[in-house]
Structure 1
Amino acid sequence: MTAIRPGDVEGLLRRGPDPRVAVILVYGPDTGLVAERARSLAEGAVADPSDPFALVKIDGDVLAGDPGRLLDEAGTVGLFGGQRAIWVRPGSRPIAPAVEALLKAELPAARVVVEAGDLAKSAPLRVLCERSPRALALPCYPDDARTLADLIDARLQAEGLRIARDARETLAASLGGDRRASLGEIEKLALYARGQREISLEDVEAVASDVSGSVLNALIDAAFAGQAGEAERSYRRFRVEGMDASVMLGAALRHALALLAARLDGQGQSPGQIVASWRGLHFRRQRIVEVQLARWSPEALRRAVARLQEGVLACRRAEAEFAHALASDVLVRIALEAGRRA
């Protein structure tokens, strides 16, 4: 078994994966963290990541239509020699047969990094990579407080900056929903503080915005409560403010998963009883979340989760304008479905 616990992933990345490993699967609900780690693993395996002969990028849906291509690419020797890497980007079609064929073959010279979404324990690709001694499965879940503090310190130190303790705590409290969005906020703060020696609490309050899931509560709650008009208005506002489409859908996905978990844990209980035992739920949101629980069954929430997962992946592969159209459509459809359930 080569499944890696979430807390052990950073240590493994610092040490570097075993060169005998043929396939590294990077998956999880934090799409920003998945993308960052997949990019780091793929680009870190080659001398020049900009060389298309050294770093080959394959779309998952293209690979699903031609499973033998992965084995061919992995066994190809570079034109000028040197290490090669294959980076398989997320798609909507299954690619487990292509990965299985590669794992059964002779050890390739290339590092194969497979980027995926939030895979269930029973997903064929995850099962395959967790059971094979020649593969690694790296889960990516939202950063906890300790990981965020380390991330903040590392990124700011790279810019020659320190950060005061109270400023770090305030900044960390506003991050964590998505690694890519968190990094954007840290980089924005570093740019603001350029020329200073230390970042203060005042700097954080002046620059950092709340990019965790809470900033999107108005949009997400409107969608899952069936308020289509409000969801559409909220989406337009966040879009104007520059919020990434996949970040918005990622926050909605996490909320759908939270609703599903609450529904399953509270079987036989009323929505009011479930809300009363929901730890961490702000009192101002209790009423609207109770409405959501009343309207969404576990089966319907599973369908919403699948729709949101597909939407997150589609947004990440699309141009910004089209990504926003996709994300808005997904959220409005969820709102319309919730409205019909009233």
Structure 2
Amino acid sequence: MVAVRPGDVEATLSRLDPLRPVVLLFGPDSGLVRERARGYLAKAGEGSTDPFGLVRLDGDEIAGDPGRLVDEAGTIALFGGRRVISVRAGSKNIGPAVEALLAAPPADAVVVIEAGDLKRGMGLRALCEASPRALAIACYADSDRDLSRLIDTMTMEAGIAIERDAKAELMGLLGGDRAASRGEIAKLLLYAAGERSITGAHVRAIVGDASSLALDEIADSALAGQSAEMATAFAKATGEGMRPDIVLGAVGRAMQSLHAMRLGIEAGGSVERAIEGARPAIHFRRKPLIEQALRGWSAARLEKALLTLDDALLAARRNAGLGPAIAERALFQLAAGARRG
């Protein structure tokens, strides 16, 4: 098994492993998947003068021609050196292509595969985790430690300090997606340029809730019946490159959390107690929408809505081109259901 533990990821990606030329990066944090892929591809290409040394392949294309990935990895670079191949998985199954590659691993090539949230023990994830020729690295939402390190790194590079309270408040607004978190910190640094340090006032004035912008705002607005707000947040998230099936998956998890709280309420608890007792804690900016959703949905109606959302998620994965339309329609139906409740 070569599934990399979370604490070993940074060290693993800091160097190339010639015995494991295939690297699978996957998980719900698509921004972190992209960031780690870019970094590893850049490291693999260091020292190369070949303008054609980096080859980008679409997963849906190689799914129809499994032998192409093996051929590309085995091709000798035009100007010598290492061959670097980037694969972005789509809606089609690339398992046969990767299986063939692992059976005949390249001698002087690196293959980096980017994928979405993959279930344990199934498909591409199981294939790479079981192979001694591959690394499988999960990319989940940043922990507090990861966010703290990201903030420290970016503020240090910008040459500006950040007050302790301001950093704590900023951390509470980040975390749903690495790319969104970086964007919010960069925006804050630009806003505070020329100041001696970043204060809580700066954070409150300019930083939106990055995780909400990426995922939470979509889920909260839909479950509270706010169609217009949901549509705006969804358009922004997909415009920044977030896949529709990732969005639907996050909304599904939010619905599961809401369902658990509703069961507690229907067993005799209160809405307020359900919100305050939620783990992880709900950010104060989200509480009004969560409360509205808890009062509008019953546990039984949430169960039915979850089944409908699962159908939409499957359809979005099978039809990548129609994914945004499928996801948006499902979210509008969810918001309509919230208003009926």
Percent identity reads: 42
1:163-207 residue CA offsets vs partner (Å, 9 max, x unmatched) = 222221111110001111101011112222333453232322222
Aligned amino acid, residue 212 of structure 2: G
Cα offset, 1:213, TM superposition: 2.8
Measured after TM superposition, the shift of residue 120 of structure 1 is 0.5
> Which residue is equivalent to 1:294?
300
- SS in structure 2 of the partner of residue 126 of structure 1: helix
> In 2 relative to 1, CA 179–25 (structure 1 residues): closer, same or farther, beyond 3 Å?
same
Q: Which residue does 2:229 correspond to in 1?
A: 234
Cα distance, 1:218 vs structure 2:
6.0
Aligned partners of 2:20 and 2:133 also within 8 Å: yes
- Stretches of structure 1 that go unaligned for 5 or more consecutive residues are none
Do the aligned partners of residues 95 and 25 (structure 1) sit closer, same or farther apart at CA in structure 2, a change above 3 Å counting? same
Quote the Cα distance in structure 1 between the aligned partners of 2:339 and 2:258. 22
Over 3 Å counting, the alpha-carbon distance change for 1:309 and 1:4 in structure 2 is farther
1:224 to 1:2, Cα distance in 2 relative to 1, 3 A: same
Rounded Cα–Cα distance in structure 2 between residues aligned with 1:145 and 1:85? 33
1:220 pairs with 2:226: no
Q: 2:311 aligns with which of 297, 303, 312?
A: 303
Q: What secondary structure does 2:44 align onto?
A: coil
Q: Using a 3 Å threshold, how does the CA distance of structure 1 residues 219 and 53 change in structure 2: closer, same or farther?
A: closer
Deviation at 1:261, TM superposition (A): 6.4
CA 266–173 in structure 1, closer or farther in 2 if over 3 Å, else same: closer
Contact 1:88–1:114 (8 Å) recurs in 2: yes
Q: Over the residues paired in the alignment, what is the CA RMSD in angstroms?
A: 3.5
Q: Does 1:58 align with 2:41?
A: no
- Within a 5 Å distance, the mapping from 1:179-258 to structure 2 comes to 179-213=178-212, 219-224=218-223, 227=225, 230-231=226-227, 233-238=228-233, 244-245=238-239, 246-247=241-242, 250=246, 252-258=248-254
The amino acid that maps onto 2:90 is G
Q: Classify 1:80/1:216 alpha carbon distance in 2 versus 1 (closer, same or farther; 3 Å).
A: closer
1:79-126 deviation digits (Å, cap 9, x = unpaired): 111222110012100001111111111433111000000000132110
Distance 1:330 1:53, change over 3 A: farther
2:301 partner letter: R
Q: Is the 8 A contact 2:95 2:123 kept in 1?
A: yes
* CA shift for structure 1 position 148: 0.2
The 3 A distance-change label for structure 1 pair 81 and 30 is same
2:21 is aligned to: 22
SS of the residue 1:177 aligns to: coil
Return the alpha-carbon distance in structure 1 between the equivalents of residues 37 and 299 of structure 2: 35
Q: Partners of 1:72 and 1:191 in 2: how far apart?
A: 46
Aligned residues: 325
CA contact under 8 A between 1:216 and 1:248: conserved in structure 2?
Answer: no
Structure 1 contact 118–309 (Cα < 8 Å) conserved: no
